[in-house]
Every structure is written in C-alpha cells, then in structure tokens.
Amino acid sequence: MTNLIFHQLFEKETFTYTYLLADSSTKEAVLIDPVLETVDRDFKLISELDLNLKYVLETHVHADHITGSGELRKITGAKIGLSGIYQSDCSDMALSDGDEIKFGEFLIQAIATPGHTAGCMCYKLDNMIFTGDALLIRGCGRTDFQGGSSDKLFQSVREKLFSFEDDYFIYPAHDYKGFTHSTIEMEKRFNPRLNLEVTKNQFVQIMSELKLDLPKKIHEAVPANMKCGAPATEASVPIISAKMVHEDLSSFKIVDVRRADEFNNELGHISGAQLATLGPELEVALNSLSKQDKIVFVCRSGKRSEEATKMAIQNGFEHVFNLEGGMLHWNEMGL
Amino acid sequence: MTNLIFHQLFEKETFTYTYLLADSSTKEAVLIDPVLETVDRDFKLISELDLNLKYVLETHVHADHITGSGELRKITGAKIGLSGIYQSDCSDMALSDGDEIKFGEFLIQAIATPGHTAGCMCYKLDNMIFTGDALLIRGCGRTDFQGGSSDKLFQSVREKLFSFEDDYFIYPAHDYKGFTHSTIEMEKRFNPRLNLEVTKNQFVQIMSELKLDLPKKIHEAVPANMKCGAPATEASVPIISAKMVHEDLSSFKIVDVRRADEFNNELGHISGAQLATLGPELEVALNSLSKQDKIVFVCRSGKRSEEATKMAIQNGFEHVFNLEGGMLHWNEMGL
C-alpha cells in the first residue's frame, strides 16, 4: 500500500508555509510554495526522504517573499506550475481551473480562486486543500494589488472553497498566529471576514477599510517571482500581464506614455486610457495623480512604460505597474 | 466513529509547539505544553471546537518560556499533569513512567525520558510521540541544567524512543528551522547527535562542547513553571527538588549555608556538601567558586538557602538553585 508523505514547513521571516507531498512507493514528490531562503532546507529534506521532485506548484505570484521554485528546478529538474493568468514565461505549466497534477498514485486538482490576485490557484489533494492566500485561517489575503478583487475573492471562497465537505482540511500559505491548519467548517463558522453570516457587500467594505501598507518586498518580489525567483535586476519594475489588467480593468488608472500620434494609430489604445507622453507631459500628469492610485503604464512594447513606472516609483507612487508587452500584447488577446 | 481532533500550534517568540488533542465524539481534550502568551488563542480554539479540556500535560518544567497550564486550569478546570520527579506542589497528577491518561476513546501513555531535565516525560498516542525537548527534529534538548544528563538522554532516546516503530511520528516541543514533525526512522538515520552511528561517548562529548548561553528567561521561567506558570514574585529564585538533586548528585556542587552545629546535628547533611554559613563565610566561599559551577544551596527548610541563591545570582552565578524544603525534604526521601 502506498502512503502520502506530507510535510508542512514554516519560513519564519514571512510566516510562509511550504508543503511537501510525496508518494511513499514511487517517491514522486510535489512541493507547493517554496521560499528562496529555505531552498537548502527543503532540498535536504527531499534528499533525505529519497524523493524525486516532479513538480513545484505556486498558489500565486507572491508579493511578500521570493519563490524558491527556480532554484529547485535548477537542482532537481522539477517542472514549475503556475496559473496561466499571470502569463509568466518562466513556468513550465500554465495551469487552468480543473487541471490535474499526478504524482505516484496521487492526484492534485487545480482550483482557480481569483481575488487575492487575479491568478490565485488552490490545490486539492483528497480532503486537503492548499489555499494559498485565498483563504487563511480566520482570515484571507488582501485584494488591493496584482489584479486583486474583493468581489472575486468572496465568490471564490464562498462558491468554490465552501462547496467542499465541512471536514476538509485547509492548509494556507501563511499563518501569523501559530495555527497550522483549519477545516472548511471552522472557516464557515469562525472566519471573521468570510463566515456564512457575512454578505458580499460587508466583505467588500471590510477589505476596503484595511488600509494596509504595501508588503516591504513587493517591488522586488513580484518581478522576481514572475521569473520563478530569478534575482531582480536593478532595472526591473513591477510588471502586470495584459490578461490581469483586462480582468480587473475598472480598478486601474491606465496611463499611456506614447506619443499622441501612436495613441490613435493602428494599435489603438486601451479604453479609458489617459495620454501622457513620456517626458515633461508625464511629469505634469504624475503631479495630478494620487500616490495611492493603482496605475498601469502602457506603451507600444513595454519599454517606455518601464521608464515611466520607474519614474513613478521614484516619485513615491506605491501601486504602479508596467503593462508587459505593451499594446502589442494587449492586442494579441484579440479583444 | 470517533476521530482524533489534532492541532499543532506554534508560539513564535520561543519557537514552541503546543498540541491540542481531542475526541471528536465525547469532546474531551488534552493540551500538551501550552505557553502563557498564547493561552487566549488556545482557549478560543478550544471554545470554537466546543471541547472540554480535561488535562494539560507538561513534557517538562520549561526553562525558556512560562507555561500556560495554570491559567488554563483556572479557566477550564483542567487537571495538570507533570512528572512526579519535580515534586511540584501545584500539579494535579504527579506522573510516572507508564501512566495512562484517557480522553474519550483515546489513551495517552507517559514515557519517562530523563536527560534534558531529570523529569522529562514523552507522551505517546497511537503512532504519535510528543517528545518535548528529549528528541527534537535533527537535534535534542541541552543537558546542562535542571538535573540534565547526557548519559541519561542518550539512554532515553536510543533505548526508549528508538524502540518504537520506524514510521511513528515525532512531534517535538520546539523547532527552530520550520519543521513540524519527523519520524523515528528519520531521526535514527539523520539526527546528527543521536543517529544510530553515534556512540554514547561521542554524544556526551558533543553535548559537553555546546557551550550554550543560559535561556534568557530561566531564572524567571523555572520557578514560575514549578508553580504552573504563576508569575514569579520578586523574591523567587530557581528551585530544585530533592529528588532531582539526588538523581544527579555528582553533577552539582552542594553548598550548605547553615551553622556548623546544624551541619552535624540530627538532620545531617548531604554527602559531599561544603559548609559555608550564610553571611561573611558564604561571601568568601562564593569568591572561590566558578560562576559556571552548578550549585545547589541547602539549609534546614529552604529559607536561608533562598537568600544564598539570590546572593549568588546577584554575584553573576548562572547555574544556581535553591534546594526546595531543605534538609527536611531531603530526609523525607528516606535515603
């Protein structure tokens, strides 16, 4: 008989849980949400258990820490799985809702749960659900960047996660109070934000009133994690995919930094975009925008808008992104 | 069918694990090693799960944190179980090797594993062993105070714990690297101090070379924990039971602070004790002793020796204890 080998591993600086799952007979293993700082620990454990790491799965592109997925792929040859929504060009599997990941006799099911970010994915194995930041123990992830949406998170948790059996176990990506797991029933009853008594409007209001500081490492972590944890270069700035912007268009201010003639040429522009050509015109525009605005900068291919994003960060803007691939990528979506 | 409810809970300041065990049908529960700072969290969880806390079990008298046992007893009426070796007068059950603790349909077995301290106790439930500080994941507790003994710890781990099945789970009282559990097999193979290749002499040498600083809170925690976590009064000093001193007599310097005529009267004195009457004579004696010595101060009832212990601490001694109940208690052992 084969057994599931299961290890919950804790990273103490960012309170992150990494999960190691393996088939005791075939030795095939999956690691969920590894952290760069604990790659050595995780790899040592994998070696001691004599496992063959087949997949590294990310519940989402993390903003608070850098993933260990790229490092582990280098050492073990594992394949990296991440939601296709992020359009990350470094992952090996662009996962969609319902996708299945097999290791030995075990089967993991991917469950799209957008809301904390647009590409959040939970992973279900038998009666265990690895919920990432979608559902935390007595809490949930914030919804104010990376295509986050309180509306969508409410729907993901209440319609998708809460549809599983009451005694299913919840294993989150973080816990800050020392809990290691919960159950669907306990969260239905005692989650202060998402218990069954809370309405969607109440939830949206709760989330809008959080006023959290940005994660300290976001401007380093997000671009690095889009590249599976590759160290961010000096020039790198937060990027966002066309798909993520499109999914949540109403929550962004779109600033197009091309010339006026390009704005109206054959590539067109994103509906509602404000034109502010890179240079003095953009500087003036930045003065009229709030530092709290969620801004996506756009150009033709993503190069000038990278400059614009950098300039905004230097001017103290906190929620700014460069549209990856610019209008070229945007138009490829065929909208 | 009844199930085991199981929660592993983490205290982040001292990296301590608390374990909640309960019978899902009868709702009877046991908590192992609660921490004072997280009593509210633990009690809230117990309430949410609608449990009836029957027992609080301590794996040992902790030196690094104050136990939450007394507080939880106050709130819930639970009984406190602790090894009888400590002769703590606040516990409700003085446990011995082989004792059984029943909750619902489940049975916990107490396993005496002296070595980290003289009174260390592991608790076994089915294939789970809660090892306290006797066996940590890839490590073990220190053996240099509270009646600790490397010889005994080696014996406890290798002869008692390693006699269980290879696939039994290890749940320690602490982990500093983010591991949550291990197995007997993994520790037999990969524990750097206690794997099957290490001899007793090698282990004793490894432990003697650790040169660790004392836990920051030891002078507050040990006396408080002897009283189930009651806040230490200004006057309280580390105490040690007659039994613990007797178990490990050769590792202590015994300093008797009575008058010379008492030293030789009908109460007698501990074999090998040095006489240094409280006052100028003791001050001279302290100057001739090393600050690293493990010293137990003794008088008739424990009152003058408390003064002596305080004086030694003020003079920078780090490993000093007051013999609880003095020669009166010592003689009650009937040796």
Asked if B180 and A178 come within 8 Å (Cβ–Cβ), the reply is no
Joined together, the tokens standing for residue A14 give 């960012």
Segment holding B16, helix H or strand E? strand B16-23
For position B239, what pLDDT does the model report? 84
Of B10, B178, B181, nearest to A178 by CB-CB distance is B10
Residue A236 pLDDT greater than 70, yes or no: no
Does residue A25 belong to the interface with chain B, where contact is any CB pair within 8 Å?
Answer: no
Chain mean position to CA A14: 15
Chain A, nearest residue to B35 by Cα: A178
How far is B217 from A304, CA to CA, in rounded Å?
Answer: 57
Among A24-33, A126-135, A287-296, the minimum mean pLDDT is found in: A287-296
How far is A107 from A96, CA to CA, in rounded Å?
Answer: 15
| A127 contacts in chain B (CB < 8 Å) | none
Contact (CB, 8 A) for B302 and B325: yes
Closest by CA position to A281, among listed A298, A301, A256: A256
Full 3-state SS string of A132-182: ECCCECCECCCCCCCCCCHHHHHHHHHHHHHHCCCCCEEEECECCCCECCE
pLDDT more than 90, % of chain A: 78
**Above 0.90 for ipTM, yes or no?**
no
Question: What pLDDT, in 10s, does the model give residues A67-96?
Answer: 999 999 999 999 999 999 999 989 999 999
Contact (CB, 8 A) for A66 and A35: yes
Contact (CB, 8 A) for B45 and B7: yes
Best residue of B48, B166, B177, B182 to probe chain A, by most A CBs closer than 10 Å: B177
3-state helix, strand, coil split of chain B in percent (to 5) is 30, 25, 45
How far is A308 from A297, CA to CA, in rounded Å?
Answer: 7
Average pLDDT along chain B, 335 residues, taken 10 residues at a time: 95 97 98 97 97 98 96 95 93 97 98 97 98 98 92 98 98 98 98 98 95 84 90 70 86 93 92 93 91 91 92 86 92 81
For position B145, what pLDDT does the model report? 86
Residue A187 pLDDT greater than 80, yes or no: yes
Alpha helices in A116-199 (DSSP H): 150-155, 184-190
| B9 contacts in chain A (CB < 8 Å) | 178-180
| A180 contacts in chain B (CB < 8 Å) | 7-10, 180
How far is B89 from B73, CA to CA, in rounded Å?
Answer: 15
For position B50, what pLDDT does the model report? 96
How far is B273 from A50, CA to CA, in rounded Å?
Answer: 55
For position B269, what pLDDT does the model report? 95
Counting Cα atoms < 13 Å in the Cβ hemisphere of B188 gives 15
Chain A: nearest CA to B179, how far in angstroms? 5
How far is B69 from A12, CA to CA, in rounded Å?
Answer: 26
Please state the rounded mean pLDDT for residues A252-271. 93
Asked if B7 and A180 come within 8 Å (Cβ–Cβ), the reply is yes
Please state the rounded mean pLDDT for residues A39-63. 97
For position A185, what pLDDT does the model report? 98
Residue A235 pLDDT greater than 70, yes or no: no
Does residue B12 belong to the interface with chain A, where contact is any CB pair within 8 Å?
Answer: yes
How far is A104 from A96, CA to CA, in rounded Å?
Answer: 21
Structural domains of chain A, with CATH: 4-208 (3.60.15.10), 236-332 (3.40.250.10)
Chain B, nearest residue to A41 by Cα: B177
Residue A332 pLDDT greater than 90, yes or no: no
Residue A216 pLDDT greater than 90, yes or no: no
How far is B30 from B38, CA to CA, in rounded Å?
Answer: 16
Please state the rounded mean pLDDT for residues A32-61. 97
Q: What sign does the CA torsion over B25, B26, B32, B34 have? A: positive
Taking residue B173's Cβ as centre, other Cβ atoms within 10 Å add up to: 29
For position B240, what pLDDT does the model report? 87
Question: What pLDDT, in 10s, does the model give residues A145-184?
Answer: 888 999 999 999 999 999 999 999 999 999 999 999 999 9
For position A119, what pLDDT does the model report? 96
Residue A24 pLDDT greater than 60, yes or no: yes
Q: Could you identify the residue written with the tokens 């001050």? A: B283
Q: How far apart are the first and last CA of chain B?
A: 51
Asked if B180 and A7 come within 8 Å (Cβ–Cβ), the reply is yes
Chain B: nearest CA to A154, how far in angstroms? 23
Does residue B189 belong to the interface with chain A, where contact is any CB pair within 8 Å?
Answer: yes
**Radius of gyration for the alpha carbons in chain B, expressed in angstroms and rounded:** 20
For position A233, what pLDDT does the model report? 60
Note which residues in 206-245 of chain A have CB less than 8 A from chain B: none
For position A234, what pLDDT does the model report? 54
| A8 contacts in chain B (CB < 8 Å) | 180
Q: What is the mean pLDDT of chain A?
A: 93
Please state the rounded mean pLDDT for residues A20-30. 98
| Cα separations in angstroms, A253 against A268, A272, A320, A326 | 17, 8, 9, 15
Taking residue A92's Cβ as centre, other Cβ atoms within 10 Å add up to: 14
